[in-house]
Amino acid sequence: MTDYTFDMPKVVDTLNRIVEMELAGVVRYTHYSFMVFGPNRIPITSWLRDQASESLVHAQESGELITYLGEHPSLGIGQLLETHKHDIFSILEESLIHESRQMQLYQDLLDLVKDKSVMFEEFARRMVAEEETHIGEVRKMMRK
């Protein structure tokens, strides 16, 4: 096993918070997909379910990194808030907040592993880039 120079407890804690947030994303985006109505339902529902699937993959990747370090992934799930606002714009606003929080967690991970592990750094960079892309997509969808 590689001897890492990063702060292992902080990296594991951050990865566990990522797992929990991504699992919350699975639930959040799946729920949103149930609540879309109107003429644009099919493409929006499809996009939301794609986001849920991607969140699951991100949780799995993060969990694998935790076990790679010999640690135990969290069984928790991030906070789920039901606002009862299910119009498309409200869903997108909540998605933007969720994506921004996820990006911050990945940025925190990047700060912890930068120049200390190529594998962990590349993972964190890829995730930050993906979250930036999602934020950009949501912002474009929110434009009137």
Q: What is the pLDDT along the chain (144 residues), one digit of tens a residue?
A: 567 899 999 999 999 999 999 999 999 999 999 999 999 899 999 999 999 999 999 999 999 999 999 999 999 999 887 778 889 999 999 999 999 999 999 999 999 999 999 999 999 999 999 999 999 999 999 998
The dihedral over CA atoms of 7, 8, 11, 16, expressed in degrees to the nearest 10, equals: -150
- The top-level CATH class assigned to 8-69+85-142 is mainly alpha
Which 3 state secondary structure label does DSSP give 19? Answer: helix
Helices (H), 69-87: none
Domain range annotation of the chain: 8-69+85-142
Nearest CA among 63, 82, 80 for reference residue 27: 80
The pTM of this model reads 0.93
pLDDT at residue 33 in the model: 96
Helix 8-34 to helix 41-68 angle (10° resolution) is: 160
- pLDDT at residue number 51: 96
